Amino acid sequence: MKVLVIGSGGREHALGWKIAQSPKVTKLYCAPGNAGTAELAENVALKADDLKGLLQFALTKKIDLTVVGPEVPLCAGIVDLFEQNGLRIFGPRAAAARIEGSKVFSKEFMIKHGIPTAQAGIFADLTKAKAYIEAVGAPIVVKADGLAAGKGVVVCQTKAEALAAVDQIMGAKEFGAAGDKVVIEECLVGEEASIIAFTDGRSVIPLASSQDHKRVFDGDQGPNTGGMGAYSPAPVVTERLMEQINLDVLKPFVNGMRQEGIDYKGVIYAGIMVTKKGPLVLEFNARLGDPETQPIMMRLKSDIVPILQAIIDEKLDDRLIEWDERAAVCVVLAAGGYPGNYAKGDEIKGLERTDQLEGVMVFHAGTKDEGRKIVTNGGRVLGVTALGGSIKYAIDKAYQAVELIKFKGMHYRRDIGKKALKHEK
Ligand code: AMP
Ligand code: GLY
């Protein structure tokens, strides 16, 4: 069968890598892809948000299965569009993807269906939003309603910061209409974990747990990023906690969607804060996490294609999903300046030296093949991912591989996985 993966990050390289291993797949395309996907797929010069172009391509090439990585095309209705044209596509439709596309919808959904989350106020009026901040005080978290490329959440330590954040979002419209409304919520304290699950709208099956590292610098310092590294499994998610999250979050999510008359098929990602009061949902995403998908795909033993097919056909079954017992760790190598402004076009050296390392995959994100060399082409450039008998071994192996790679301005966190080790002691 012919498969098309949409997106260009480390997540899509990892997905493509896994899909390409399926004996069912005869041809793989990636749109737009990167220098890593080019090694296992044919890259197609269509952007992830070019819905009409992608539809035309899929119809012309008679694509049997399309797999969508990022949230933007999902929220824009790519699944609806492909289905209307008789194409098979993996992911939630636009009405379902609102769980990520609107933080107001998501918060109201959680409250209505009893899903544990932070206390919050929802505002469409700047003056009322400010009055709420004055009344509640800091620390407090301000979230733009709509999609803002991961920049719409501001964790504020002071009232002044929170007032400035609502001014930026609702007043100056920094994110356009995404800032017409805001969610202002209690600042939660605890350890974060990513709980990503497959659902066909009836069954919901959690994937292996994982943890992201959002802040740019070691020790969770500095501004938020798309994610500087991840590992799986996350020992903070004990078996008991996973069971609790399954019962209190995932199952009510799926049942709630059905009650709302929304057919939710694809991936549901719950960003969880493990607090003293138990697990609380920080956010829902309608897609796989990046970088979490990189260690997760390394650990997925089963062929992924029958799983994706079963979800589309509403026949998801946990016998389809088997995990490698080993741990996997992904260290993101970022361009100088990221998450602020960064350069592109710098040559990446040493990639071939990592090929000899067993159990190591260097997933590409912002990279471009320029024929004789591979150059940087984005903020997060590579995801160096390693399997190991324990988190500790996987960390060591990932950093060994990192040592072999160089590009101008390259920076990365040196403490990926450290939190997991604390739990293992
Ligand atoms: P979100 O996109 O909602 O997950 O927010 C991005 C990041 O902001 C999360 O991963 C957390 O690190 C942080 N965050 C979001 N909501 C809260 C909250 N209520 N309390 C503390 N941190 C939060
Ligand atoms: N790694 C966080 C996300 O994918 O949203």
Look at residue 48 and tell me if it is in a domain. yes
CATH of the domain at 138: 3.30.1490.20
Is residue 105 assigned to a domain? no
Residue 116 belongs to some domain of the structure: no
Site to substitute for ligand 2 among 209, 282, 287, 290, most atoms within 8 A of C-beta: 290
With respect to residue 101, please indicate whether it lies within any of the assigned structural domains: no
Kind and range of the H or E run holding 54: helix 51-60
**Which residue's alpha carbon is nearest to atom 16 within ligand 1?**
282
Least confident range from 267-276, 340-349, 366-375, 416-425: namely 416-425
Residues 310, 221, single domain; the answer is: yes
CB 424 within 8 A of CB 235: yes
Domain shared by 49 and 161, yes or no = no
187 Cβ closer than 6 Å to some ligand 1 atom: yes
Percent of the chain whose predicted confidence (pLDDT) is above 90: 96
CATH of the domain at 21: 3.40.50.20
Residues 198, 305, single domain; the answer is yes
Residue-wise pLDDT for 388-403, tens only, equals 999 999 999 999 999 9
Residues 209 and 313 in one domain: yes
Q: Which residue lies with its CA nearest to atom 3 of ligand 2?
A: 289
Distance CA 334, CA 381 (A): 5
> Are 303 and 380 within one domain?
no
Question: Sorting pLDDT into bands at 50, 70 and 90, what band is 11?
Answer: very high
Would you say residue 100 lies in a domain? no
In a domain, 53, yes or no: yes
Residues 307 and 371 in one domain: no
Single pTM value for the model? 0.96
Tokens representing residue 235 in the block: 């020992």
Query: Which of the pair, 218 or 224, is modelled with greater confidence?
Result: 218
- How many structural domains compose the chain? 4
Tell me, yes or no, whether 207 lies in a domain. Answer: yes
Atom 2 of ligand 2, nearest CA residue = 289
Domain finish residue from 279, 301, 318: 318
Ligand at shortest distance from the CA of 70: 2
Question: Is 119 contained in some domain?
Answer: no
Q: Note whether 205 and 321 are within 8 A (CB).
A: yes
Same domain, 312 and 337: no
Residues 403, 354 share a domain: yes
Which of 273, 293, 318 is where one domain is finished? 318
Do 309 and 197 belong together in one domain? yes
3-class secondary structure, 39: helix
Distance 151 CA to ligand 2 centre (A): 12
Q: What's the confidence (pLDDT) of residue 318? A: 85
Beta-carbon-side half-sphere exposure of residue 169 (alpha carbons within 13 Å): 32
Which sign, positive or negative, has the C-alpha torsion 213, 11, 383, 340?
negative
Query: What's the domain range around 133?
Result: 125-180
Calculate the CA dihedral of residues 96, 100, 102, 107 and round it to 10 degrees: 100
Are residues 29 and 81 located together in one domain of the fold?
yes
- Choosing from 318, 341, 376, the residue where a domain stops is 318
**Percentage of the chain lying above the pLDDT 70 cut:** 100
Q: Is 94 left (phi over 0), alpha (psi -120 to 50) or beta?
A: alpha
pLDDT at 425 exceeding the cut of 80? no
- Write out pLDDT tens, residues 36-60: 999 999 999 999 999 999 999 999 9
- What value does the mean pLDDT of the chain take? 96
Q: Is the pLDDT of residue 149 over 90?
A: no
Residue found by looking up tokens 């974060």 in the block: 192
Q: Which ligand is nearest to the CA of 99?
A: 1
